[in-house]
Structure 1
């Protein structure tokens, strides 16, 4: 499995949809936990890194701090 680096501001598509119907989230904080904000309703959640990495389907767009 390849190592994927995430950055603050990344928009990620999750495997499961949020109850509001959106499956896109914006990454707000990175560390042991990730803080994300739903792009549909603005709900903010904190999720553990292993659970986050397993739940991400793909990166939709990169944040302004991304180095590629």
Structure 2
């Protein structure tokens, strides 16, 4: 799965604050993600995160 820094991940299960969207801060063997609802940052193993991703929302950047 192609997940890049700056992507927003919509997960299958919500965070305890109620938000399902997380911003990717770091990717590699683990993902460092920040909840867009409450701002809580979490390190999650790639395998576990990829299992729970429902949709990837990519921020399109204008390349000039």
Q: TM-score, normalised by structure 1?
A: 0.83
Q: Which 4+ residue blocks in structure 1 deviate beyond 4 angstroms?
A: none
Q: Secondary structure at the match of 1:50?
A: helix
1:60 and 1:43 map into 2 onto residues whose CA distance is 19
Give the paired residue count: 61
The 5-angstrom pairing of residues 26-37 of structure 1 reads 26-37=23-34
Q: Which residue of 2 aligns with 1:10?
A: 7
RMSD after superposition: 1.3
What stretches of structure 2 of length at least 5 have no aligned partner? none
Offset of residue 63 of structure 1: 6.5
